[in-house]
Every structure is written in structure tokens, then in C-alpha cells.
Amino acid sequence: MNHMVERSADSLSLVFRALGDPTRRAMVQRLAGGERTVGELAEPFRMSLAAASKHVRVLERAGLVRRRVQGRVHRCRLQADRLAEAQAWLAHYERFWSERLDALESLLAEESPDPSPDRR
């Protein structure tokens, strides 16, 4: 495997691992609406800032979030390009299943008897 493909596979693994947790998915969803502080991300889960910060670090490592520190306030912003890479990977399999389902539909249409309006 060449280095570029290997690096891409590694980053994709980090993205899917980060998104495997429902709390982090919810954080990403909230960040889609705009920049949030770590405290704002922690709020709906009633978790400590330390716990929220651990989740944010996982999202940062995956390249999904960028954190900016202003004094004691940590502001987080969604990095959508990593989500686009994951979507592109998933889109390949969406096409795969669409093609298979279209083929199945054609096969079933060929095998089914022609419904005649005269038959009851």
C-alpha cells in the first residue's frame, strides 16, 4: 500500500472511531451549527469540562475539530473536510448497494408474471 493511501486509511479510521461514540457525534452535530466552547459542548451531557475536553481531543486527533484557546476559554470549530472524506468513502458503498438493488429489482420484474387486467 502506498504511503498516501495508508495515511488516508489511517485518518479515516480515526474519523470513524471518533464518530463511533454517541456523545462525540452529538458534539459534531452541535458544532455544525457554529463554534462552541468546550463548556457549551459539555452542557447537554451534564459532564465535567475535563470529560468534555477528552471527547474534544479525540475529535481533534481525527481532524474533525479545531480548538482555539482564548485565555481560559477553549473554542471549538468543526472541520468539515474530514467528514467529506468519510462521506466519499461511504458513497462508494451506497453506489454498490444501489446497483445491486437495481439488478435485483430487474430480475424480480423479469420473473414475475405479467398482471393482466382480465385475470381475477
Report the pLDDT value the prediction gives residue 115, as an integer from 0 to 100: 62
Give the separation between CA 85 and CA 103, rounded to whole angstroms.
28
The answer, yes or no, to whether residue 6 has pLDDT greater than 70, is no
Residue 15 confidence (pLDDT): 95
Per-residue pLDDT band at 4 (split at 50, 70, 90): very low
CATH number at residue 64: 1.10.10.10
In a domain, 51, yes or no: yes
Domain-located, residue 54: yes
CA–CA distance, 96 with 88 (Å, rounded to integer): 13
Averaged pLDDT of the chain: 85
- The grid coordinates listed for 89 are 468513502
**Residues spanned by the domain of 15:** 3-82
Q: Among 2-11, 47-56, 82-91, 100-109, which stretch is predicted with the lowest mean pLDDT?
A: 2-11
Is 98 domain-assigned?
A: no
